[in-house]
Amino acid sequence: MIKVYRGELLHFLADPEKVGIEQSYEYFKDGLLIIKDGLVERMGDAEDLMPSLATDTKITHYKDGLIMPGFIDTHVHYPQTEMIASYGEQLLEWLENYTFPAERCFSDLSHGENVAEFFLTQLLEAGTTTALVFGTVHKQSVEAFFNIAQQKNLRMICGKVLMDQNCPDYLSDTAQTGYDDSKALIEKWHNTDRLQYAITPRFAPTSSKAQLDKAGELLAEYPDVYMQTHLSENLKEIEWVQELFPTSKHYLDVYDQSKLLSRRSIFAHGVHLKDEECARLGEMHSAIAFCPSSNLFLGSGLFNLVQAQKYNVNIGFGSDIGAGTTFSMLSTINEGYKTQQLRGDKLSPYQSFYLATLGGAVALDLEGTIGNFMPGTEADFILLDYHATPLMDRRIKHCSNLTEKLFILSMLGDERHVKATHILGEKI
Ligand code: GUN
Ligand code: ZN
């Protein structure tokens, strides 16, 4: 089945930081996106491609909007949807007071399905079509999430939290049960339809060395499974990790010693990393999820994007709901820009739209599958509307080039500006 969309088209081919802005993207003022059986067949200039279509081909023409690949959220907690915007604390107290009690309810499969349905609807409305997602310690939380994501035919990655110390009893597993439950979930769900599994130790303080080692064993058994965790988010957290793991060289080394660094390992935050840690992440081709909305909300700090880029670390954006305060990648880019301003660094709109699309795909080792419109990629894409709000409508009239348009979209945009989301070519 062929589907054809016409309109202003943008996608990235490479990291602007590495190849220069001009080489990093393709843009067609009047473009055509040709999709066959849910995959991109070709894209390019409408005038050039029109003659190749059968004369009776139906074309959906999106006028005055921007078609681009769906956003990729490389770090988010679906069970924290209902405790977003919890007041007054930084990381460790925020976890104790708000997060753990909210996660308790996910022992119930139907509660998980209810929240997953709402969460995925919010993500899609914000234009995010793929995410790397935390469940809770309960196996059912991941069953619930995958059930709903499967019904919607989404490309999603999720994992059961591993947590066997420094947490409430009601949220605790053991090294063995965590391993067994994760393994059962991998066997059932990993590479089922568009779903993939991530081994998910919450963070070093809540896992014993035995549990982290077991997680590393599991990763060695299933090398194409993901690993997700948190790293170096908050200064008190980092001190605590040093106390709990006195023989580790630094925070990352705790995970490294348990063999948790791979091409498919994604570490959330990394706000306070040493050069040595960045170098090791780069060497292992692991990724950092840059979560500016969360880092500002919890007062964690300002991510050093320049440092991570210097060491060739793969980077994607993360909303980190419920420490982050928005599902929207446009708003996340907005907050990211401001964190870099506070550091005295400039985040160009090309760099941020790259990170929100192809950069996220590279971070998740899914380049060639999602993230741009190269032939054969899955046709998950969105239509951004320059006129969805009166303010953007007014501002956009004063703008003369793509750079300005992208910057305005990211500074003034949010879910209201996502006019349509398509999954495998189908508008949903
Ligand atoms: N560190 C450990 N758990 C969490 C969590 O749920 N959210 C954030 N932001 N950081 C964490
Ligand atoms: Zn998180």
Unique residue bearing structure tokens 């989301």: 421
Ligand 1 atom 11: the closest Cα is on which residue?
230
Same domain, residue pair 304 and 376: no
Question: For the chain, how far is it from start to end, CA to CA, in angstroms?
Answer: 17
24 and 81 in a common domain: no
Are residue 115 and residue 219 in the same domain, yes or no?
yes
The string of DSSP codes covering 131-189 is EEEE--SSHHHHHHHHHHHHHTT-EEEEEPEE--SSS-GGG---HHHHHHHHHHHHHHH
On whether both 108 and 138 belong to a single domain, the answer is yes
Residue 357 lies in a domain: no
Q: Which ligand is nearest to the CA of 289?
A: 2
- From residue 307, how far is each of 235, 289, 310, 333, 342 by CA, in Å? 18, 14, 5, 18, 15
Q: In this structure, are 39 and 118 located in the same domain?
A: no
Q: What residues contact 304, with CB distance under 8 A and at least 6 apart?
A: 271, 273, 343
Atom of ligand 1 nearest to the CA of 300: 9
The answer to whether residue 355 sits within a structural domain is no
Mean pLDDT of the region 89-104: 98
Compute CA 49 distance to the chain's CA centroid, rounded to the nearest angstrom.
33
What pLDDT, on a 0 to 100 scale, did the predictor assign at position 312?
98
15 and 130 both lie in a single domain: no
Number of H helices, E strands in the chain: 19, 16
For residue 259, what pLDDT is reported? 98
pLDDT in tens, 333-378: 999 999 999 999 999 999 999 999 999 999 999 999 999 999 999 9
Closest-CA residue, ligand 1 atom 5, reads 95
Give 10: exposed, middle or buried? Use CB within 10 Å, 0-12, 13-18, 19+: buried
- For residue 226, tell me if it sits in a domain: yes
Cα(60)–Cα(75) distance, integer angstroms: 33
Rounded Cα gap, residues 3 and 130, in angstroms: 21
Q: Pairing between strand 155-159 and 128-134?
A: parallel
In a domain, 205, yes or no: yes
Q: Please report the pLDDT score of residue 271 as a whole number.
A: 98
Q: Could you give the angle at the alpha carbon of 84 between the alpha carbons of 79 and 87, nearest 5°? A: 135
Task: Show which of 263, 294, 327 is a domain's final residue.
Answer: 327
Check whether 64 has a pLDDT greater than 90.
no
Which pLDDT belongs to residue 168?
A: 98
Claim to verify: residue 65 and residue 89 sit in the same structural domain: no
Q: Is residue 319 part of a domain?
A: yes
The answer to whether residue 29 sits within a structural domain is yes
Domain with 43 in it: 2-69+372-427
Q: What is the pTM of this model?
A: 0.98
Q: Quick one: how far is CA 260 from the chain centroid?
A: 19
Q: Residue 279 belongs to a domain with what CATH number?
A: 3.20.20.140
Q: Say whether both 229 and 286 belong to one domain.
A: yes
For ligand 1, the distance from its centroid to the CA atom of residue 377, given in whole angstroms, is 32
Question: What percentage of residues in the chain have a pLDDT greater than 70?
Answer: 100
User: Which domain-ending residue is among 266, 295, 327?
Assistant: 327
Q: Which residues pair with 416 in a beta bridge?
A: none
Distance between CA atoms of residues 305 and 15, nearest Å: 13
Query: CA torsion, points 202, 206, 208, 209, in degrees to nearest 10?
Result: 50
Ligand 1 in reach of 75 Cβ (< 6 A): no
Output the CA–CA distances (angstroms, integers) from residue 324 to 76, 78, 128, 248, in the order listed: 9, 12, 15, 29
Is the residue at 122 inside a domain? yes
Residues 6+ apart with CB under 8 A from 286: 261, 262, 263, 265, 266, 267, 313, 314
* β 418-423/426-427 pair status: antiparallel
Per-residue pLDDT band for 247 (boundaries 50, 70, 90) equals very high
Tell me the per-residue pLDDT of 155-202, one tens digit each, with 9 for 90 and over: 999 999 999 999 999 999 999 999 999 999 999 999 999 999 999 999
Question: For strand 25-36 and strand 2-12, is the pairing parallel, antiparallel, or unpaired?
Answer: antiparallel
Which atom in ligand 1 lies closest to the alpha carbon of residue 80? Answer: 6
Does the pLDDT of residue 279 top 90, yes or no? yes
- φ, ψ for residue 320, nearest 5 deg: 50, 40
Query: Measured in angstroms, how far is the CA atom of residue 230 from the centroid of ligand 2?
Result: 6
Contacts of 114 (CB under 8 A, 6+ apart): none
CA pair distance 413, 422, nearest whole angstrom: 19
Ligand 1 in contact with 291 (CB < 6 A)?
no
Identify the CATH number of the domain in which residue 42 sits. 2.30.40.10
Q: Is the pLDDT of residue 400 over 90?
A: no
Total domains in the chain come to 2
* Of the candidates 263, 312, 267, 269, the residue with the CA atom closest to the CA atom of residue 290: 269
pLDDT in tens, 118-140: 999 999 999 999 999 999 999 99
Average pLDDT, rounded, for the chain:
98
194, burial (CB in 10 Å: exposed 0-12, middle 13-18, buried 19+):
buried
Cβ atoms of 107 and 140 closer than 8 Å: yes
Q: Is 323 in the pocket of ligand 1 (CB under 6 A)?
A: yes
Q: Which ligand is nearest to the CA of 206?
A: 1
Looking at the structure, tell me whether residues 39 and 91 fall in a common domain: no
* Residue of minimum CA distance from atom 8 in ligand 1: 323
Are 321 and 410 members of one domain?
A: no
Q: Provide CB contacts within 8 A for 213, sequence distance 6+.
A: 175, 258, 259
Residue 367 lies in a domain: no
Same domain, 222 and 273: yes
Ligand nearest to the CA of 268: 2
Q: How far is the CA of 74 from the centre of ligand 1 (A)?
A: 14
| Coil/strand/helix, residue 279 | helix
Judgement on whether residues 64 and 82 belong to the same structural domain of the protein = no
**Ligand 1 pocket: which of 165, 233, 244, 251 to mutate (most atoms <8 Å of CB)?**
233
CA angle 377-417-132, nearest 5°?
A: 45
Cα of 407 vs centre of ligand 2, distance in Å, is: 27
